[in-house]
C-alpha cells in the first residue's frame, strides 16, 4: 500500500498563493478558518465553502486560477459591486448565525447550572429525610 501523500494540484496552487501573499501556509490556513495544517495536508479538491472563505478573506485572489490554474493569481481590478454586496450579505448572515449560537450557548450553560443546583439540592435533601414512624433509627 502506498503511504505517500497523494499529489494535489489545488494544494500546489494554495502553496503558490501563500508565497504570493507572503504568508506561511499555517497563517493562511488559520486565516480562512481551517486547521493550521489544512494547506499542507490537502489531498483532494477544496469545497465551495473553502473557496468562499478564501474569497471573503482574500478578495484579490482569482478563484478561477485557484480552481483551473488559468489566468493570474490575483485579479487586477477591485471587487465588483455585486461581489462586494455578496460578501456584505454573507458577513451579515454569519453574524446573525453567530448571535443565535451565542444565545443558545448561554441558554444551555444556564440549564447546566440549574441542573447542577438541583443535583446538589437533591443530594442534600436525601441526607435529611425524616425517618420518623418508619421504624428506622437515625445514626449520628
Whole-number pLDDT of residue 140: 55
**Higher-pLDDT residue of 139, 52:** 52
What 3-state DSSP class applies to 102?
A: helix
The rounded percent of the chain whose pLDDT value lies above 90 is: 54
The predicted model gives 48-56 an average pLDDT of 93
Whole-number pLDDT of residue 53: 94
pLDDT tens digits, one per residue of 75-107: 876 656 777 788 788 888 888 988 999 999 999
CA distance 18 to 42: 14
Q: What is the residue extent of each domain of the chain?
A: 1-75, 78-118
Whole-number pLDDT of residue 3: 35
What 3-state DSSP class applies to 37?
A: coil
The predicted model gives 58-68 an average pLDDT of 93
pLDDT category at 133 given cuts 50, 70, 90 is low
Whole-number pLDDT of residue 128: 55
Whole-number pLDDT of residue 124: 66
Q: Exposed, middle or buried by CB within 10 Å (0-12, 13-18, 19+), for 99?
A: exposed
Whole-number pLDDT of residue 38: 95
Contact 75, 60 (CB under 8 A): yes
Does pLDDT of 2 surpass 70?
no
The class (CATH top level) of 1-75 is mainly alpha
Amino acid at each position: 500500500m502506498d503511504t505517500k501523500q497523494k499529489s494535489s494540484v489545488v494544494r500546489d496552487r494554495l502553496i503558490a498563493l501563500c508565497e504570493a501573499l507572503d504568508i506561511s501556509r499555517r497563517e493562511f490556513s488559520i486565516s480562512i478558518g481551517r486547521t493550521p495544517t489544512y494547506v499542507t495536508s490537502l489531498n483532494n479538491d477544496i469545497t465551495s465553502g473553502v473557496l468562499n472563505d478564501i474569497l471573503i478573506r482574500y478578495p484579490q485572489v482569482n478563484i478561477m486560477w485557484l480552481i483551473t490554474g488559468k489566468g493570474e493569481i490575483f485579479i487586477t481590478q477591485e471587487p465588483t459591486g455585486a461581489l462586494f454586496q455578496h460578501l456584505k450579505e454573507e458577513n451579515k448572515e454569519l453574524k446573525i448565525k453567530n448571535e443565535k449560537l451565542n444565545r443558545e450557548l448561554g441558554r444551555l450553560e444556564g440549564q447546566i447550572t440549574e441542573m447542577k443546583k438541583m443535583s446538589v439540592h437533591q443530594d442534600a435533601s436525601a441526607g435529611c429525610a425524616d425517618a420518623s414512624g418508619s421504624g428506622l433509627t437515625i445514626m449520628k
